[in-house]
Amino acid sequence: MKCQIAFTNKREESKAVEDLITQIENFNVEPHLVMVYCTLKYHGKYQKILDGLHAHFGDVAMIGSTADAFVSPHEIRSDGIAVVVCEDENAKIETLYEKERTAREGAKKLAEKIKCENGVIILHFPPVRVPGKIEAVQVILRGIYYSLRAKMRRERAKEFAHLLAEYLYDVRLFNLPQHILPEFAERFPEIPVAGVNVSHAQIKLDSPNIFCNWKDIGNGISALVIEKEGIEFHYDDIFPDKGNTPEETMERLRSMKGILKEAEAEFVDNVIISIDGREPQEVIKELTGVKKPDEEEFLGKLSSGKFEVQIPYTINFVNKKTGGSFYTGAAPYYPFDLYPIIFDTKNLDNKIFLGYEPFYGRITDFVRCIESLKEPSKFDFILLDVSSILAFGEYAYNYRDFIRDKCKDNYFGIFTAAPCAYLPERFKKRKYIPEIEKNTYFTGGGTNIVIEI
């Protein structure tokens, strides 16, 4: 696959589109696929941008989303729009999407529509989708209500936590990779699947957004299917291997730098009810020093788009079935006591590990997948964890040179939340620790993927 990239950071969307098209007109690639990634500054204007580009390209397959940053041969940019125009006569390229009531249903329907015998599936979806203001208020009220009920009727806490989880699935606040990837794994056991977890360092109302076939599908799931011989898929992460048993993994966690404390958690679905018998946010306050926000503060931050979700504190879990371990951020995210997380807790051990700075000293591990590249001449699509920029600041800019050295000139990468993946056996190079389901990998940070096309 051969690609050329146009980039603009013009504030006004019409000027931005004009600038992009001017650049694209000088490209010498035939567009078989167009990828469009925008930073959040174009919030509310995505469709206009897509319309402008659509008018230029016509009905070419198109995929994209909002993103925090991009890496291309010359730069890392964290503000603007990147349009990647891809040409590949030997590939069969298809872009599809679904917007069902729940992530599971959407994933199922989407998987049913796909035909792929040899190649790769790249999904885009927001693991957490912040709704508009009215819906956000409703979510807060439900959260407060179920939290109060759980507090007052301790013996029925699980029931109320379950109701909250159900509600959050229904309003699609959560699109858990654990619910999405297995639908594809089951149908395409020999095809690697990458999940672009579209999420941002600072979240705002009514975001993130997924784009497919020139439409802003908001909270949908999209799939880019590329059927081609010889596609290479390299997943890696910053962590050591998992143990042979859950107990061994726990031992490894204990020996890891940054693990501060062990605790017993009670949870159901994707909601933590208590940690060491106390409300989760109380324990988190002890850990981080930050108390849970009140509703007004919470909504205010969401409205202004300055709600920071990436923090250095973690809650680490161990999966009793896979022996894997993964973490979620430990921060006072919600103005209520029950604590929803980005994992389904079925199969999780009740023993959890509270930690700090899992990234410390691992700057180069965030691009470890690049080390496995086989053919520099192929196009490399790179999915990186934005926490690397947040953790290492300006030093993360060195990724540009590192990647350029390895990938030469034909590549493009995006920074969003850590990507997830389903890996058929032949794509596994080691016993990756964040194994959330069999051969499925996802955690709160530190994963990275490169696909050679």
Q: Which stretch binds another protein (CB under 8 A): 4-12, 28-36, 81-89, 440-448?
A: 4-12
Give the end-to-end CA distance of the chain in Å, rounded to a whole number: 6
Question: What letter represents residue 108's amino acid?
Answer: K
Please say whether the beta carbons of 270 and 176 come within 8 A: yes
Report the C-alpha gap between 260 and 24 in whole angstroms.
51
Please say whether the beta carbons of 129 and 173 come within 8 A: yes
Site for another protein in 108-167 (CB under 8 A): none
- 287 forms part of the interface with another protein (CB under 8 A): no
Q: Which stretch binds another protein (CB under 8 A): 222-230, 323-331, 394-402, 434-442?
A: 394-402
- 357 forms part of the interface with another protein (CB under 8 A): no
- 198 forms part of the interface with another protein (CB under 8 A): no
* Given 17, 205, 396, 433, the residue binding another protein (CB under 8 A): 396
Q: Which stretch binds another protein (CB under 8 A): 28-36, 136-144, 245-253, 389-397?
A: 389-397
Select 78 or 410, whichever has its Cβ closest to another protein: 78
- 196 forms part of the interface with another protein (CB under 8 A): no
- Nearest approach, Cβ of residue 301 and another protein (Å): 9
Q: Which stretch binds another protein (CB under 8 A): 34-42, 97-105, 218-226, 245-253?
A: 34-42
- Nearest approach, Cβ of residue 420 and another protein (Å): 22
Token readout for 393 is: 């600041």
Select 392 or 427, whichever has its Cβ closest to another protein: 392
- 330 forms part of the interface with another protein (CB under 8 A): no
CB under 8 Å to 162, separation ≥6 — which residues? 268, 269, 271
- 253 forms part of the interface with another protein (CB under 8 A): no
- 360 forms part of the interface with another protein (CB under 8 A): no
Under DSSP, the state recorded for 191 is S
Distances (CA, A) of 141 to 137, 165, 266, 285: 6, 14, 22, 22
126: nearest Cα among 37, 219, 222, 224: 219
Phi and psi, residue 299, nearest 5°: -65, -35
Phi and psi, residue 167, nearest 5°: -60, -45
Q: Could you tell me how many residues make up the chain? A: 453
Q: Which stretch binds another protein (CB under 8 A): 37-45, 145-153, 203-211, 339-347?
A: 37-45
Report the C-alpha gap between 196 and 289 in whole angstroms.
32
What is the SS3 assignment for 169?
Answer: helix
Place of tokens 């925008």: 38
* Given 23, 27, 41, 57, the residue binding another protein (CB under 8 A): 41
Under DSSP, the state recorded for 321 is T
**Quick one: which H or E segment has residue 223?**
strand 221-227
- 76 forms part of the interface with another protein (CB under 8 A): yes
Please say whether the beta carbons of 332 and 291 come within 8 A: yes
Select 77 or 378, whichever has its Cβ closest to another protein: 77
As a three-state string, the secondary structure of 226-247 is: EECCCCEEEEEECCCECCCCHH
248: nearest Cα among 323, 321, 322: 323
Select 202 or 364, whichever has its Cβ closest to another protein: 202
* Given 68, 183, 437, 452, the residue binding another protein (CB under 8 A): 68
* Given 75, 87, 105, 266, the residue binding another protein (CB under 8 A): 75
* Given 102, 202, 364, 372, the residue binding another protein (CB under 8 A): 202
Q: How many CB atoms lie within 10 A of CB 26?
A: 8
Select 356 or 427, whichever has its Cβ closest to another protein: 356
Report the C-alpha gap between 283 and 263 in whole angstroms.
10
Q: Total residues at the site for another protein (CB under 8 A)?
A: 24
* Given 79, 170, 264, 294, the residue binding another protein (CB under 8 A): 79
- 362 forms part of the interface with another protein (CB under 8 A): no
Site for another protein in 424-443 (CB under 8 A): none
Measured in whole angstroms, how far is the alpha carbon of residue 145 from the centre of its chain? Answer: 29
- 102 forms part of the interface with another protein (CB under 8 A): no
* Given 26, 58, 393, 426, the residue binding another protein (CB under 8 A): 393
- 222 forms part of the interface with another protein (CB under 8 A): no
* Binding interface with another protein (CB under 8 A): 9-11, 39-41, 68-69, 75-79, 201-202, 304, 306, 308, 389-390, 393-394, 396-397
